[in-house]
A and B are shown apart, each in its own frame.
Chain A
Amino acid sequence: MTTTDTETTATRSSAWKELWSKEDWWAVWLGLGIVALAYIFYLSGSSISWIAVSPAKWSTLSQLTGQFAKNGIKYLALLVVLLILFTIVVSRIGQKPKDFIPAFTFVFVISTIVYSLGSWEQASKYTLEPPLVALGLGLLISNLIKLPRWLDAGFRVEFYIKLGIILLGATLPFTLILWAGPVAILQASIVSLATFLTIFFVGRKLGLDRRLAAVLGAGGAVCGVSASIAIAGSVRAKKEHPPVAISLVVIYAIIMIFVLPVVCRLLQLPAGIGGAWIGTSEFADAAGLAAAQSYGGLAGSHGIAGSADQAVAAYTLIKVIGRDIWIGIWAFALALISVTYWEPSETTSKVQVGQIWTRFPKFVIGFLVASILTSIIIHGNTLAEYNKVVKPALITPITALRTWAFTFSFFSIGLTTRFRELASAGSKPVIAFTVGVIVNVVLGYVLSVLVFGHYWSTIVTH
């Protein structure tokens, strides 16, 4: 066997290995498995609603305790099923089940409390939006109490959010993705390019290394920390570059989780428009979903027009379809620029074309497939049939499981954000990134509200 043959075989082998060693694929297997199971139960005249339990609206503590007395066994069953499924996943990607099981049980218990609090009828009056409560509680715990590090095994922010997004796909009609996708891509591309170029050239003007400027730019423009780490690998960043970008993205993303919904509320933006703006101007998937879900929770009251689903759908279309899926293209293009102009003598290798696919966030495949499956199942039902049969038996249980997954993620963001551990970024990266954030937010507002506002305010989510 020649060296080239050996390397090709190794590449093929690692391509297959990715199917069970990456969180993205596990989110796909698990998400589509849940959706398939939900369809099987639905088609057989039943539903997974028994296991997909969630707190109902309550106004007095006795109502809440009554709910738990009645459904306690369902919550326990949900915990056991999720523990089994998630433990299989984390053990396959190389983590220790003995660490994961107690950590996830802790996440589940607190998430149950947060989910219940969000179902209180007065919750929105006191701005107790579940995503913000979960995040805030996690931040308090991680920064005031020193939790044992092994508990981090259960705080898998990305896995939970990817699973939730795939389940979200199962509640969105594919026609919506086809209808709104091109606008989402156009809007996100304009903002992404403008933000990247701003951060990159301001960074260069301040004397930053080209590769650090690119890593920062991608973090602000594409998909936050994931983009920064992907671009760092493709442009051969210095070892100390990624932590700078991670710190800045995390801090700004957490600020935006709280600020964007407040500003949207002050401006009385319809839910769909608010979601689109958050999708354009937030940095990471999980952070943006926390903000979009919080703002969506206000829809229908407080003078906010639209529905919670519109905020989440508009956000997801812009963020996932408009921004996330292009990371492979960004990585390829910047790698090409890097070997051609920036550091042509640093290594002897060439640019891998295959990274367009290998860096593709595979959970998006699950999101699209889930949407297509739902659309096929629902096709042929009238709106009345949908509301009477399909929604309670199929869509509502999947939505409940999605909310659980998102709550696990939001709480885990807080639990893993230990401000004292974030690397110091230095003034120049801070300035470059901050200018990019300003451009991103202003341009995001102009496009989401002034240019495409009519579009996002009327998206149909069922």
Chain B
Amino acid sequence: MKIFDLLQSGNSGPVCRDCVHFENDPAIIEKTYPGLAIMSSGYASVRDCDGICNFNDLYLSAHDSCPNFTARAGKADR
């Protein structure tokens, strides 16, 4: 079925988490979005490991990917 083609249970290929343009440090997210910590938190489970893509100017999941992926030097598990 077509809908199942859109779903993914794990990761494959390069993802935003390992991209040089991606930033998801909770402290930096809280600083970037003043007010986030008033009634939520950069460290909350609901935020998963989402972050900001400084290339596309998007706020998105660390599991996302795009053609502009550029590997981070010495990628860490974030």
Contacts and interface: CB of A to CB of B under 8 A. Distances in A.
A291 to B, nearest CB: 13
B26 A94 contact: yes
B41 A233 contact: no
Contacts of A202: none
A8 B12 CA distance: 8
Contacts of B37: 152, 155-158, 416
Given A239-B53, A240-B57, 6 more contacts: A18-B45, A159-B43, A351-B8, A352-B63, A355-B48, A363-B45
B38 A93 contact: no
Interface string A7-18: 110110110011
Contacts of A230: 46-48, 50
Nearest to A347: B66
Nearest to A324: B46
B35 A243 contact: yes
B20 interface: no
Interface residues of B, number: 48
Interface of A: 3-4, 7-8, 10-11, 13-14, 17-18, 21-25, 93-95, 152, 155-159, 223-227, 229-230, 232-234, 236-243, 246-247, 249-250, 253, 283-287, 327, 336, 339-340, 346-355, 358-363, 413, 416-418, 421-423
Contacts of B11: 4, 7-8, 10-11
Contacts of B49: 14
Nearest to B10: A8
B63 A418 contact: no
Q: Is the interface of A mostly helix, strand, loop or mixed?
A: helix
B8 A353 contact: yes
B70 interface: no
B1 interface: no
B11 to A, nearest CB: 4
Nearest to A94: B27
A286 B39 CA distance: 7
Contact of B39 (A7, A242, A250, A362): A250
Nearest to A414: B38
Contact of B36 (A227, A229, A240, A355): A229
